[in-house]
Structure 1
C-alpha cells in the first residue's frame, strides 16, 4: 500500500473518531441521567476528539505523499 493511501485511511480513522465523539457527547449531555455513565461517556468522547485531532494534525503536517 502506498504512503498516500495509508494517509487516506489514517485520516478516515481520525474523522470517524471525531464523529464518534460528537455522538458520545450528545448521549452524555442529553440522554443519560446517571452521573457515573455521563462522566464515562464524556471522558471517552473527549479522548476520541483529542486523538482524532492529533491524527488530523499529523496528516496535515506530514505534507503531500
Structure 2
C-alpha cells in the first residue's frame, strides 16, 4: 500500500473518531431515552469502523 493511501486511511480514521466523539458528547449532554441510545450506538459503530482504517494506516 502506498504512503498516500495510508495517509487517506488515517484521515478517515481521524474523521470517524471526531464524529464519534461529537456524537457521544451531544448524546450525553442534550438527549434522553431512545435518541440517546441510538446516538451512542452510532458512535460505537463509528469507533468499530475506525479500527481497520487505523490499523491499515499503521502497518
Q: TM-score scaled by structure 2?
A: 0.86
Larger radius of gyration: 1
**How many pairs does the alignment contain?**
59
Q: Which runs of 5+ in 1 are unaligned?
A: none
**Distance across 2 between alignment mates of 1:26 and 1:56:** 22
**Distance across 2 between alignment mates of 1:42 and 1:4:** 33
Judging by fraction of residues, say which structure has more helix: 2
Structure 1: 4+ residue segments shifted above 2 A: none
Deviations 1:13-64 (A, max 9, x none): 000000100000001111112x11111100000111121123112221x2xx
Partner of 1:21: 20
Contact 2:13 2:53 in 1 (8 A): yes
Partner of 1:46: 44
Q: Which runs of 5+ in 2 are unaligned?
A: none
Q: TM-score scaled by structure 1?
A: 0.79
